[in-house]
Structure 1
Amino acid sequence: MKSYRIPSIARKYTDYDMIQTHTDLPALAHPRLRLLHAFLVRGQAYEKHSELYTLVASLVQLGMDTHDRINNDADEPRRAENEMRSKQLKVLAGDYFSSIFYQLLAQAGQIEMIAILSEAVCEVNRLKTNLYMRMKQMKLTADDYLSYMTQLRSELFQSFTAILDATLSRIWQELLTAVTRCEVILEEIERSADARKFLHSWAYWHVMQDGTEDERDWLSEMPVDQAKVQGLVDKYGIRGKLVAKLNAAAELVKAITAKLDTASMLDEPIRIVDDMLNRAAGRTPALHETR
């Protein structure tokens, strides 16, 4: 059985001096990728392509995540040259990551998978548009936001359901949703401590939903400063609420995993969520793997 080697394989496509010097990239979506690989390596029909499929999924997701980091605020003051270069490189890198999977799959004769992933990307973009419209109209609760983000992050990986064995496809969808929810919540825990990432985070929507009128007015006057953000995070117990949600999502992953008939698969989903729980608790160094 092949081990999970995507981080080292993906470096061939991500480790460029120009990118590392002038901008930063999102981390690979390792919890979802590890879960996908664990399922693919156990299918007779697609085991030989398990590494290729996981690699191209990592690059497509990285391309979308890189584009999501581009700041298109038209009202922002003129950027310095290095900031403009960083933005340009994000555009180019995102385009590259989003297109290289065509070449990799075509070389392997996997034309059908190109169509499957391309359709999934279109659906992700549709979901993003719906979410951004809800945000703009301020028609979003904190729980709505969490559900939207979980669906967005899992959509590309859900496309692999079509090739999985029937005995695995249903539980794959359940596990993917639960693991992705853990990923999203973990990121929201980390965002809640940084004023630069507070806008439109779960914490932001929670305060907009339950905060005072003065607090809502103040949040509408972005940017905000770190001290005020920390005050809101403490007042509304944001971290505690998110940690409770993370623990509940992790327990759901373990409950779903217990339904698996294949004993050799039992460990990987549990290891995935335990890694995220440890990260949230600060018991391990930050894993360059969550997005």
Structure 2
Amino acid sequence: MTRYRVEQLAHKYTDHDMISLHTELPGFPSGRIRLLHAVLSQQPAVSSNKELLALVTSLVQMGLDTHDMVENGTIEGKDGMPAMRSRQLKVLAGDYFSSRFYHLLSQAGQIEAVRLLSEAICELNRIKMSAYSKMKQLKLNAEEYVHYGAEIKSGLFLSFTGFMHGLYERLWPELVERFSRCEVLLQELKDAEKEARLNGGWGFWHVMQEGTEEDRRALAEHREDHGLIRQLMEKYGVAEKLGGLLRQSALQLRELVGRFPSDKLVRDLQPLIEPFLAAGGPQPATAWKELG
């Protein structure tokens, strides 16, 4: 398998002119898919199906992420029709991507994988509803926000724990959850640095948790005031704190990877962790020698 093989296969299902012309899709979950493929390669019982399992997981994830991009509420004004078309295409595209996993796995006789992924989808919907409810009531703190985000990213991938054996079975849940946490923190750091998605991100919940009563009240009452939010993000050092959290999680992830018994797997996973280490802050030049 080449480095981008699964993503190339997925493009057969995700590349459509109608979608690209009228709406946008979420990013391909490349890191988690490569993580899954690399670890499945070490499992003799399923290694021959690793490409298929990685492909269908990527399609299900794309389907779920596409549905999550659908905005609620009414659409008005001169841009109403394009916006409505974009919303409809996201719903249809998400349904299509999700349906492909059942078709591909059924053709291959992988009924157990169908069951496990279907159960994971149901659990993910429950987690999303719990998170949404807490957000709506302003009862979420910053760490819970990251935890929910990592749960949502890792949910499908945890389904494959039962396909693994020995030390791999014990380490896989922590590996995928830690990797997903790093993904969440990295995206939050990028958003904070670009001043994107200021309302509702980690910084918002951090200020609501740690801010003064005056700042919390102002933030709760003026959630659409980007100028105010930007000022508070700077006041509470959101970008710096996110960088520290990412660095800490990336180092823990690096240590965890080093516990796997396969030197080849460790080498294969190193490039997936390096972006987290780089974004989290300067690392010693000998950082990877501990895994050598």
TM-score (norm 2): 0.89
Q: Distance in 2 between matches of 1:194 and 1:102?
A: 38
Matches within 5 A, 1:151-230: 151-193=151-193, 197-220=197-220, 221-225=222-226, 227-230=227-230
Structure 1 match to 2:290: none
Kept in 2, the 8 Å contact 1:257–1:266? The answer is yes
Structure 1: how far apart are the matches of 2:228 and 2:6?
A: 40
Rounded to whole Å, the distance in 2 between the matches of 1:169 and 1:120 is 17
Aligned to 1:5: 5
Q: Secondary structure at the match of 1:133?
A: helix
State how far apart, in whole Å, the 2-side matches of 1:141 and 1:222 are: 16
| CA deviation after TM superposition for structure 1 residue 135, in Å | 1.2
Alignment correspondent of 1:26: 26
**Structure 2 match to 1:239:** 239
Query: Structure 1 residue 208: deviation in Å?
Result: 1.3
Distance of 2:13 and 2:280 partners within structure 1: 29
Matches of 1:12 and 1:254, distance apart in 2: 34
- Separation of aligned partners in 2, 1:123 and 1:7: 25
In structure 2, relative to structure 1, the CA distance for the partners of 1:46 and 1:35 (3 Å cut) is same
1:84-139 CA distance string (max 9 Å, x none): 11111111111111111011111111111111100000000011111111112211
Equivalent residue for 1:99?
99
Q: Give the CA deviation at 1:9.
A: 1.1
Taking the TM superposition and a 5 Å limit, the aligned residue runs for 1:1-291 are 3-74=3-74, 77=76, 80-193=80-193, 197-220=197-220, 221-225=222-226, 227-278=227-278
1:31 deviation in Å?
1.5
What is the CA–CA distance in structure 2 between the aligned matches of 1:278 and 1:162, rounded to whole Å? Answer: 33
**1:286 aligns to what?**
none
Shift of 1:278: 3.8
- For residues 271 and 125 of structure 1, the distance between their equivalents in structure 2, rounded to whole angstroms, comes to 31
Identity of aligned residues (%): 42
Return the offset for 1:175.
Answer: 1.1
Contact 2:141 2:206 survives alignment (8 Å): yes
- 8 Å contact kept, 2:198–2:230: no
State the TM-score, normalized to the length of structure 1: 0.90
Asked whether the equivalents of residues 219 and 228 of structure 2 are also in contact (C-alpha less than 8 Å), the reply is no
Deviation by residue 1:184-220 (Cα, 9 ceiling, x = unmatched) = 1011112224555222211110111122344333333
Which structure would you say has the larger RCO, counting Cα contacts within 8 Å and 6 or more residues apart?
Answer: 1
Aligned residues of 1:26 and 1:66 also touching (Cα < 8 A): yes
Opposite residue 218 of structure 1, the aligned amino acid is A
C-alpha RMSD over aligned residues: 2.0
Question: Unpaired runs of 5+ in structure 2?
Answer: 282-292
How many residues in Structure 1 have an aligned counterpart in Structure 2?
A: 280
Is the alpha carbon distance of 1:98 and 1:28 closer, same or farther for their aligned partners in structure 2, counting shifts above 3 Å? same
Name the CA shift for 1:212/1:167 in 2 (closer, same or farther; >3 Å).
closer
The C-alpha deviation readout for 1:37-77, integer Å capped at 9, x for no partner, is 10111211111110110011111111111111111035x65
